Amino acid sequence: AQSVTQPDIHITVSEGASLELRCNYSYGATPYLFWYVQSPGQGLQLLLKYFSGDTLVQGIKGFEAEFKRSQSSFNLRKPSVHWSDAAEYFCAVGDTGGFKTIFGAGTRLFVKA
């Protein structure tokens, strides 16, 4: 069965610094991968997704993610973090055995001035 691991429960970065959030998945074939963001008190919003093709995908709000099959990873990056990026970030994989998406436990991002 597919699974998703986000090793970092929370991360703190300074405003203007670069960001990388880690995500590892377990799946035999090419996975369908997603990153969602949840701002405080809000529902989740899609940042980006990967199905096939170019392994570097661009998303909204200046985020990008790189799919690395050899490492079973789909890490999220942003070159310069803004205070408004403080939120919880969820990596997810599509469950090809059904109609579902499996979410990781999330990484909470704190941004310090």
Site of interaction with other proteins (CB under 8 A): 9, 32, 34, 36, 41-46, 49, 51, 90, 94-96, 98-101, 103-106
Residue 103 Cβ, how far from other proteins at the closest point, in Å?
Answer: 4
Residue 43 Cβ, how far from other proteins at the closest point, in Å?
Answer: 3
Residue 96 Cβ, how far from other proteins at the closest point, in Å?
Answer: 6
Q: Which is nearer to other proteins, 6 or 78 (CB)?
A: 6
Q: Which is nearer to other proteins, 64 or 95 (CB)?
A: 95
Q: How many whole angstroms separate alpha carbon 35 and alpha carbon 7?
A: 15
In three-state form (DSSP H/G/I as H, E/B as E, the rest C), the secondary structure along 2-21 is CEEECCCCEEEEECCCCEEE
Q: Which is nearer to other proteins, 45 or 84 (CB)?
A: 45
Q: Which is nearer to other proteins, 13 or 90 (CB)?
A: 90
Residue 69 Cβ, how far from other proteins at the closest point, in Å?
Answer: 18
